[in-house]
Amino acid sequence: MLPVTAAILVDALGRVLLARRPERGANASKWEFPGGKLREGESPEDCLRRELQEELGIEVEVGEVFHVVNHPYAWGSVLLLAYLCRWRGGEIRLTEHSACQWAQMDRLVQFDLSEADRAIAEKLSRRAVSLRASVTGKEMEAEGRGSAVPTGLAAVT
């Protein structure tokens, strides 16, 4: 079983960041929640911070686990650990993905998602209203730490 992390980044408008996999390799051209494979001895939180820095050029604060998915693929099983995250800095630059896009929570299931990510999208769609309030930075603003993520970002390709 391959342990993999995924970030659920929500902007101030309640949209979630999705990234499109490259046209080659496993799950080619499928949309996913950004993240990546754990290295030996690495915590899932450290993995997620490293992967988002390497693949998107952004810094995040990793919060609580939102959902765990164990999904079998033809090439092996994936244990996907999805964490609620807050944007801390940087601007998106694509190094691995072919595109990224902010998507409304209730429309996530309309994307051509990797199978393991689909279960996360379905849960997010069901819990969209309560999650918007909890991860868009309202708590951080009250603490004087700013918002969760810059607004006004559109698709990056």
pLDDT of 157 above 80: no
pLDDT of 151 above 70: no
Say whether 138 sits in a helix, a strand or coil: helix
End-to-end CA distance of the chain: 31
Side chain identity, residue 40: E
Any idea which residue has 């991860």 for tokens? 135
Mean pLDDT, rounded, for 33-55: 96
| Tokens (6 digits) for 102 | 């902010």
Higher-scoring residue by pLDDT: 82, 133: 82
What span, in angstroms and rounded, lies between the C-alpha atoms of 31 and 98? 10
Of 47-51, 83-87, 145-149, minimum mean pLDDT range: 145-149
The 10s digit of each residue's pLDDT in 94-149 is: 988 889 999 999 899 999 998 899 999 999 988 765 665 555 544 434 333 333 44
What span, in angstroms and rounded, lies between the C-alpha atoms of 135 and 85? 8
Burial of 101 by CB count in 10 Å (0-12 exposed, 13-18 middle, 19+ buried)? middle
| Max CA pair span of the chain | 48
pLDDT of 88 above 80: yes
pLDDT of residue 150: 42
The strand ranges marked E within 21-128 are 31-32, 35-37, 58-73, 76-90, 99-104
Higher-scoring residue by pLDDT: 153, 130: 130
pLDDT of 152 above 60: no
What band does 55 get if pLDDT is binned at 50, 70 and 90?
very high
pLDDT of residue 133: 53
Q: Apex CA 107: angle with CA 138 and CA 1, to 5°?
A: 90
How much of the chain exceeds pLDDT 70, in percent? 79
What span, in angstroms and rounded, lies between the C-alpha atoms of 149 and 135? 10
Q: What domains are there in the chain, each with its CATH number?
A: 2-142 (3.90.79.10)
